[in-house]
Structure 1
Amino acid sequence: MIKNALTPRRLASVAVAAAVAIGAAGCGGDPGTGSAGTSTIRALLNAQPATLDPIAGARSAQVVWATMIEPLIATDAELEPAKTGLITDWKRSSPDKWTFTMREGVKFSNGEPADAAAAAATLELTRSSATSLLKTYFTNVASIEAPDATTIVINTKRPQYDIPNLLTTVFLLPPKYYKQKGPAGFSAAPVGTGPYTFEASKAGREISVKANPAYWGQKPGNTGVTFTWATEASQRLALLQSKSVDVAFDLPPAQADQAKGAGLKVVSTESALKITAVLETTKAPFDNPTLREAAALAINRDDIVKGIFNGKAVADGGLLNVKPGTQPKDKVDADPAKAKQLVGSSSPSVNLTYPAAQYTNMKEVAQAVGASLEQAGFKVKYLPVDYGTLVKQVVGRQINGMYMLGAVPNVAVPDFFATGYVKTASITGNCPSPATDKMIAKALEQKDAAAAQSTYDELNSISVVQEHCFVPLYKQIYNYGLGSGVDGVVYGPLNSVDFTKATR
């Protein structure tokens, strides 16, 4: 069992050292001054964003880029598509044709029109760019057209019920600027239609955005947001307590309790973020189905939740149950004795790759998973990497063994994981099967997610319970702390943050 704890004396010394470090990083400013509409919010993340390009970037970085760049379709409190964003209406005129209406008069912060042509260009990049992380979701799209400034028409090869849902995670880009700068240049100075605009970046130290005076919607109640990062949870807590930052994200349970004990406000939200162990079934040792079953039986998710998170996470044995509060119909329960029997005396070696600084207590979780595998008879090699490297290795099919991944359903429908993880041509591609590919296509052809639910239940049973391609572990209870007098920072379960009402 691994727990994080700091004595008050040690915490105070960490706070002083950390405050000096982050002051040198430029987070600065007088922590005790500022008023609504005239202050900059200082936000502390758990890791530096790998890229601010929404085409290539993992959605963990949208906490930063979504201040500047907006999704085509907004999401409501029930995590469903809403007609309150850049796209204000849609209709399905036939099973394979969707028509969307863009909000009139919106411009990017560089002056380019944020019209249907820009939306079509963004969707084309999402569907066809070699760097697109979402391209697997758009393989069924036959054509994207913009017949006029406010109309987008999407034709699909086969019926697909979740097109509006998918557009909630497609972020609108200025086509001329993106083409001129390229992915790297755009990431260095993003341009969007959002409530904030890019201000500055100090490499490896901070990113700042400022309020957009020309924003089409409700203007921010502050002058901007400055993002810095600290990988150690104890450091994030220390910086919050020392008033060096206004909000510290991703506080593990121990640090969240300490923050509350110090009189700070801590907000807790059950996130849709699902931490999952992914088994690479196309390579040794997990091309052997018996060893996959052994690995699945060896890992006890309930022990991880109790021992590492003090019960402040939600054990979850399913992959396709995406919304907070839901559980799968079928799951694998831990059976260490059977796992050891299945492994026998073969002592297979397995790599365990994990992003050490990306998710709450990820190092401890990886060590607990590895210890369970070792008790079953596996020889485990631990491979901690940064998150950007992990994504490249996954997409490039460079990993063998097992890796830990935070599966974020940016779209709250089961197909986000079915197409993104289970399908042969998916982000992970670790569980190829023509039969399941056909089932995923069949599910998408249904009227809606509810009509396809029985198929998704079956897909979950195949990929998790029968084939053991995935070992889902838990949904995170996401904690973030607010400094004294700070209010209005809202974290959503789909890994989104609204800073527009934040004040200090």
Structure 2
Amino acid sequence: MNRFIQTNLGWRRSIAGLIMFLTMALVACGSSATSTPVTTTTTTTTGSTPVPQPQATSAPSSAVAARDSIVLVIAEQPPVVAALGSGGGIAQAVHHDNMSDPLTWQSGDDQRIVPTSATTGWEQVGPSKWRFFLREGVKFHNGEPWNAQAALPSLAILASSENDNPSYGYTGGFTAEAFDEFTLDINCTTPCPIFPNTAFFANFTAPDFLASTTEEDRARQNVSFGPYKLVEWDFGVSITQEAYEDYVPAGDHFEFQKPVIRDVKWFFRGEPQVMAAMVKAGEADIAWDVGVDAIDTLDANQIKSGGSAEVFTLDVLSFLHPETSKLKVRQAMAHAINCQEMIDALYGGNSVCRGNIIWPGVIGATESNTAPYSFDPGLSRQLLEEANYDNDTVLRLFSRGTRIPKQVEVLEAVQGYLADVGVNVDVNIVDVQGFLDRRNCRAGQAVADLLSDRGSTKDAADATLEEMQAALAAANERGSTSCATAELIENEPSNETLDFGRQITYYLNCSKAQSPFCDPSPGGIQEQLAPALAASGDERKRLLEGLADFVHEQALWLTPFDLPVIYAVDPKLNWEPRFDRRIRINSMTFSP
């Protein structure tokens, strides 16, 4: 048994009864492992194909709250609060979920794709073209009007792979044009049969504000049209918001109503037990992700649990490095880690080990390509010997702090398991920017380096197969790209779309800066991406399953396991967790 894990088993036994309670709650609420996949729409390429709009879940009539203020606490502040800025995991709830409304939304009750305050509906008018009908009467927080022309500057940013926007990894590239004042056309660079299912991070910023401010200045501001607007950011301490008086509801859907709770305060505390204690003491009304350690400090009615649509994993760099580029080395590492023992000890068994970064219920996932790797250190040592592994190698692992509960313990456990079979790992926990610098210096950076060396100004996403091949060869010869990365990178890939297309766009794509994998060989994985993303129905399922099979066989990710979310909640707060971490405060009320 791993020595670090062994020290935690006493803790596990001490809360066994409470874990049983939590497990029952998780089953009742549902989790990412059992989510129903979104049904994609099969369309013809002739004429206009209207997409039936789902009937939204209605908000309670005449909602009244006993209180008009709320305090929320999360582990870390967002890196930015700009509507077009990066998400930052759970921290994106501050800006993406409450100060911004995206083009589409995945309903919190059953994952249907529904309109928002930005839209009233949409239709597919070609294999690569979608038409969106915008909601009239909407204004940005600064009073600028919302219409098709106002949407274009934001969409130009969201359509690019060259910035850290929250949407591109879901939608892929596209261009946008105004069809008329309140009709917007999206022209995808490749066929996009499920585009509305991917557009729920396509947020917007007021165009005049966008044109008159620098990216650095915008990072600390949010001028969108969500239900709340920014009042103050006390950096590192708190963010204050207030209800946006001119917010335009999206019909009667419960997540797109005028806020009943007027004043909002977010606090940032790195320790889960501190966050739980704030709820216990009445200093906060909701805290997430507090972890299983908080269970024995809270009353039963102060605990809620839900899914995250995420897994925890370590990306393995499968090129550049002389050892991790070997299949048998990656397989050896996968079999060296006792995932079940780790989650039993650290999370009370309240998770599921995977052999992939998706789970059954996601299009592309099967029982076989998500099955966890067996714990077999003997096999690991055999594979390392067959691979002629250099035992003097020290692999670098980079992680950002306080991303998930027990994060340090997980990393130390992985380090211990790998050391037991002769793989030495140096664990580095760094600030967010230091982490992003390492993460975003992989395949796409190699392609960007090659294009720059050749004097080309085109986007890495537009590189030819020959350019990708040349980039990979040059980077492998140097042993690096133009910046420093790491062989192992902590990652929590999410899949709100319930479709493996999300992952292959980010992580199997030579043009993406953070992709740890690149295969531009003729007929290789790079050439298989576009057909899979363009397909729909059974053909899409077949192609995505093939790519997920490849990921599993190649052991491209280490120790994936599901990330359930445990919330500490004021019992008087009327709210239920979603299948993911997203939270809409305008859907909340307090009971007397």
TM-score range, shorter chain: 0.7 to 0.9
**Worse overlay, 265-274 or 395-404:** 395-404
Aligned mate of 1:283, from 320, 332, 335: 320
Aligned mate of 2:530, from 441, 447, 451: 441
Residues 311-350 of structure 1: pairs in structure 2 closer than 5 A = 311-321=349-359, 328-330=367-369, 331=371, 332-344=373-385, 346-347=390-391, 348-350=393-395
Residues 291-312 of structure 1, C-alpha deviations (whole Å, 9 max, x = no match): 1121112123222221211111
Secondary structure of 1:147's aligned partner: strand
Q: Is 2:412 aligned against 1:367?
A: yes
Q: Which position in structure 2 is the counterpart of 1:460? A: 548
Aligned mate of 2:185, from 128, 131, 153: 153
Q: Which position in structure 1 is the counterpart of 2:340? A: 302
Residues 421-472 of structure 1, C-alpha deviations (whole Å, 9 max, x = no match): 1222225221101211222211112134x5311211111121232x222225
Contact 2:124 2:130 in 1 (8 A): yes
Q: Which runs of 5+ in 2 are unaligned?
A: 15-63, 250-256, 443-483
Aligned mate of 1:268, from 295, 302, 305: 305
The verdict on how the C-alpha distance between 1:172 and 1:378 changes in structure 2, with shifts beyond 3 A counting, is: same
The structural deviation recorded for 1:378 is: 0.8
Distance 1:452 1:87 in 2: 27
Q: Which position in structure 2 is the counterpart of 1:389? A: 434
**Larger fraction in strand:** 1
Distance 2:146 2:361 in 1: 31
Distance 2:159 2:122 in 1: 20
Residues 9-41 of structure 1, C-alpha deviations (whole Å, 9 max, x = no match): xxxxxxxxxxxxxxxxxxxxxxxxxx9265321
Q: Which position in structure 2 is the counterpart of 1:169? A: 201
The structural deviation recorded for 1:248 is: 1.3
The structural deviation recorded for 1:328 is: 4.3
Q: Which position in structure 1 is the counterpart of 2:503? A: 417
Residues 98-136 of structure 1, C-alpha deviations (whole Å, 9 max, x = no match): 111111111111111121122222221111373234445
Distance 1:303 1:455 in 2: 34
Distance 1:140 1:297 in 2: 37
Aligned mate of 1:39, from 44, 52, 68: 68
Contact 1:320 1:418 in 2 (8 A): no
Aligned mate of 1:58, from 84, 87, 98: 87
Contact 2:397 2:428 in 1 (8 A): yes
Residues 235-268 of structure 1, C-alpha deviations (whole Å, 9 max, x = no match): 11222222211111101112134313xx542110
The structural deviation recorded for 1:85 is: 4.3
Contact 1:168 1:411 in 2 (8 A): no
The structural deviation recorded for 1:281 is: 1.5
The verdict on how the C-alpha distance between 1:441 and 1:129 changes in structure 2, with shifts beyond 3 A counting, is: closer
Q: Which position in structure 2 is the counterpart of 1:25? A: none
Contact 1:106 1:113 in 2 (8 A): yes
The verdict on how the C-alpha distance between 1:209 and 1:489 changes in structure 2, with shifts beyond 3 A counting, is: farther
The verdict on how the C-alpha distance between 1:138 and 1:483 changes in structure 2, with shifts beyond 3 A counting, is: closer
Q: Which position in structure 2 is the counterpart of 1:223? A: 262
Distance 1:433 1:136 in 2: 19
The structural deviation recorded for 1:231 is: 0.7
Distance 1:106 1:276 in 2: 41
Contact 1:169 1:411 in 2 (8 A): no
Aligned-partner residue type, residue 228 of structure 1? F
Contact 1:328 1:457 in 2 (8 A): no
Q: Which position in structure 1 is the counterpart of 2:580? A: 494
Aligned-partner residue type, residue 346 of structure 1? D
Q: Which position in structure 2 is the counterpart of 1:196? A: 228
The structural deviation recorded for 1:156 is: 2.8
Residues 453-498 of structure 1, C-alpha deviations (whole Å, 9 max, x = no match): 1211111121232x2222251111101111253x124432332102
Q: Which position in structure 1 is the counterpart of 2:297? A: 258
Distance 1:184 1:4 in 2: 48
Distance 1:427 1:301 in 2: 29
Q: Which position in structure 2 is the counterpart of 1:475? A: 562
Q: Which position in structure 2 is the counterpart of 1:99? A: 131
Distance 1:343 1:85 in 2: 55
TM-score by length of 2: 0.75
Residues 119-155 of structure 1, C-alpha deviations (whole Å, 9 max, x = no match): 22222111137323444555542x3101222111122
Q: Which position in structure 1 is the counterpart of 2:452? A: none
Q: Which position in structure 2 is the counterpart of 1:401? A: 487
Secondary structure of 1:455's aligned partner: helix
TM-score by length of 1: 0.87
Contact 2:160 2:168 in 1 (8 A): yes
Distance 1:162 1:4 in 2: 48
Q: Is 2:335 aligned against 1:246?
A: no
Secondary structure of 1:492's aligned partner: coil
Distance 1:59 1:408 in 2: 12
**Worse overlay, 156-165 or 61-70:** 156-165
**Worse overlay, 281-290 or 89-98:** 281-290
Secondary structure of 2:159's aligned partner: helix
Secondary structure of 1:313's aligned partner: coil
Contact 2:83 2:224 in 1 (8 A): no
Contact 1:319 1:464 in 2 (8 A): no
The verdict on how the C-alpha distance between 1:223 and 1:189 changes in structure 2, with shifts beyond 3 A counting, is: same
Distance 1:394 1:322 in 2: 27
Distance 2:362 2:404 in 1: 18
Distance 1:471 1:323 in 2: 21
Residues 366-425 of structure 1, C-alpha deviations (whole Å, 9 max, x = no match): 111111111111112111123343223211333222121111224332111111112222
Contact 1:268 1:477 in 2 (8 A): yes
**Worse overlay, 317-326 or 296-305:** 317-326
Distance 1:328 1:80 in 2: 24
Residues 40-75 of structure 1, C-alpha deviations (whole Å, 9 max, x = no match): 210000112111124331352321002111111121
Secondary structure of 1:58's aligned partner: coil
Secondary structure of 1:70's aligned partner: coil
Distance 1:137 1:41 in 2: 31
The verdict on how the C-alpha distance between 1:502 and 1:274 changes in structure 2, with shifts beyond 3 A counting, is: same
Aligned mate of 2:100, from 69, 74, 97: 69
The structural deviation recorded for 1:341 is: 2.0
The structural deviation recorded for 1:225 is: 1.4
Secondary structure of 1:130's aligned partner: coil
The verdict on how the C-alpha distance between 1:494 and 1:270 changes in structure 2, with shifts beyond 3 A counting, is: closer
